[in-house]
Amino acid sequence: MSIPTEQDRVLIFDTTLRDGEQSPGATMTHEEKLEIAEMLDEMGVDIIEAGFPIASEGDFNAVKEIAQRSKDAVICGLSRANFKDIDRCWDAVKHAGKPRIHTFIGTSPLHREIPGLSQDAMADLIHETVSHARNLCDNVQWSPMDATRTEHDYLCRVIEIAIKAGATTINIPDTVGYTAPRESADLIRMLIERVPGADEVVFATHCHNDLGMATANALAAVEAGARQIESTINGLGERAGNTALEEVVMALKVRNDIMPFSTGVDTTKIMSISRRVAQVSGFPVQFNKAIVGKNAFAHESGIHQDGMLKNPQNFEIMRPEDIGLAESSLPLGKHSGRAALKAKMKGLGYELADNQLADVFVRFKELADRKKEVFDEDLIALMGDGTDTANDRIKVKFLRVICGTEAPQSADLTLTVDGVDNQVTATGDGPVDATFNAIKNLFPHTARLNLYQVHAVTEGTDAQATVTVRMEEDGKIVTGLSSDTDTVVASAKAYVNALNNLIVRREKTKPEGV
Ligand code: KIV
Ligand code: ZN
């Protein structure tokens, strides 16, 4: 049975754990997926696409456990157009109070060529697979992948077949981020007008951001009659990502005068989930990202600051509190206690459990000893230091580098690998190169370094550096992230963080084409 929607209610479907996790390098651990799913459920997301159960044992177990723990949200799993995928998906989602099977096939001329199916053969397959899914579950979503490049007549034909076979939601993916707002609206309007049975199902929009129009395209589709928006936290997703959940939800809230649609999302939880997703995915949020970027509520120029002091509405169209960002100028330093840190972190959007607080407090004290002032950004970077978690196989224990004008620069490094300490001294072209050579020596691997990026989190020579490292091994891309006032230490920890993520990634074996 599909979810009933009032005329003005738009369902929010989150696919951070499926489409988002498919972004190269954005692997999340089992526990991290459970945590994100719980946050999504609590913030009022209507449908959570928890993964692709056939893809790996790990994906299956994550979807199953998310389903078992779910509270209000519908839990959905993805499956290709074959019985084996659909059965596996059902085995995982059936544990939810509200399960959904999502099945898809590429319907555009280019995508029909991949399985080499004629239009008729594909239409038959759609009928068989959607019927099969519907026999298992009364909530079935069907997607014609690459819908925006599919011939209109054929698209109408296969959607009618899917509806007749029992689909309750028809999702229209702009898989390659090719459409534009007017075309996106026209397509949904045309389908609702032409397809028999369209009024009995919910139409959904799933937009990728290749031309930077994903959010605009999704909102245009809603104005034309779509009542489900598929999105991800921070816009995570394949290539340039997907429609960002926080953008559509806030756009519908702030511009309700011209887009009179509501969602069930508690917007005050946006900031905390955005930050947590950035941490666990290893994808930092760009500073000027709408809603959740570091600068989204920052005012630098004198004219803007003056205007803000007189009336925040001069330069802000939404209040920071609306997204769970408290404006607070509580200065924190080495004399501050746990309660102040906890309150400050809450103000910044982080709800810390007692064990997390204990861990962050130790790192905060270490930082406060080294820095005169601890800024909000330092604390955020501290939270983003994804290194040294209990499950990590490799940890940086000791590092000392010799650098300067006289080559060769060298690094004396001790790594703990599976609980055993190993030490080496390596040289290199600069201290970072020497450190990375030392890591390679102690933990040999064939992964290639694709990206090494450093940026200062705050100003001054005692600023924390955040280092991002991206590496690739046999097509698997992983990211590592770390922050420290010492750039070389941050680099070593980011590299080791990427290796730990690679180890997790190696354990996941996805079938071809997934
Ligand atoms: O972008 C896409 O087409 C998808 C489908 C699987 C819905 O993610
Ligand atoms: Zn997608």
pLDDT digits (tens, 9 = 90+) for 55-114: 999 999 999 999 999 999 999 999 999 999 999 999 999 999 999 999 999 999 999 999
Choose between 381 and 182: higher pLDDT: 182
For atom 5 of ligand 1, the residue with the nearest CA is 145
- In terms of Cα–Cα distance, which of 349, 300, 342 is closest to 322? 349
Could you tell me the pLDDT band of residue 332, with boundaries at 50, 70 and 90?
Answer: confident
Closest ligand 1 atom, residue 146 Cα = 3
Ligand 1: does its nearest atom lie under 6 Å from the Cβ of 209?
no
pLDDT of residue 384: 63
Q: What is the whole-number distance in angstroms between the Cα of residue 196 and the centre of ligand 2?
A: 26
What percent of the chain is modeled with pLDDT above 90?
A: 66
Residue 148 has pLDDT above 70, yes or no: yes
Q: Which two tokens stand for residue 307?
A: 């205007």
DSSP structural state of residue 507: H
pLDDT of residue 31: 92
Q: Is the dihedral of CA 155, 156, 162, 166 positive or negative?
A: positive
Closest ligand 1 atom, residue 15 Cα = 8
Ligand 1: does its nearest atom lie under 6 Å from the Cβ of 77?
no
Return mean pLDDT, the chain: 90
How much is the average pLDDT of 205-222?
98
- Distance CA(203)–CA(163), nearest Å, equals 11
Residue 510 has pLDDT above 90, yes or no: no
Q: What is the whole-number distance in angstroms between the Cα of residue 290 and the centre of ligand 1?
A: 24
Q: Which two tokens stand for residue 4?
A: 């009933």
Ligand 1: does its nearest atom lie under 6 Å from the Cβ of 145?
yes
Ligand 1: does its nearest atom lie under 6 Å from the Cβ of 142?
no
How much is the average pLDDT of 201-214?
98
Q: What is the whole-number distance in angstroms between the Cα of residue 297 and the centre of ligand 2?
A: 30
Could you tell me the pLDDT band of residue 509, with boundaries at 50, 70 and 90?
Answer: very low
pLDDT of residue 343: 79
Residue 226 has pLDDT above 80, yes or no: yes
Ligand 1: does its nearest atom lie under 6 Å from the Cβ of 175?
yes
C-beta separation of 1 from 138 below 8 A: yes
- 421-462, pLDDT tens digit by residue? 999 999 999 999 999 999 999 999 999 998 888 877 666 777
- Distance CA(307)–CA(229), nearest Å, equals 36
Residues lying with their CB under 5 A of ligand 2, a single-atom ion: 19
How much is the average pLDDT of 148-159?
98
Q: Ligand 1 pocket test: pick from 85, 145, 150 the residue with the most ligand atoms within 8 Å of its Cβ.
A: 145
Q: Which two tokens stand for residue 315?
A: 């330069």
C-beta separation of 242 from 213 below 8 A: no
Q: Ligand 1 pocket test: pick from 206, 207, 210, 231 the residue with the most ligand atoms within 8 Å of its Cβ.
A: 206
- In terms of Cα–Cα distance, which of 154, 153, 214 is closest to 179? 214
- In terms of Cα–Cα distance, which of 22, 11, 17, 158 is closest to 513? 22
> Of 358-362, 390-394, 484-488, where does mean pLDDT reach its minimum?
390-394
Ligand 1: does its nearest atom lie under 6 Å from the Cβ of 206?
yes
Element (H, E) at 307: helix 302-310
How much is the average pLDDT of 176-196?
98
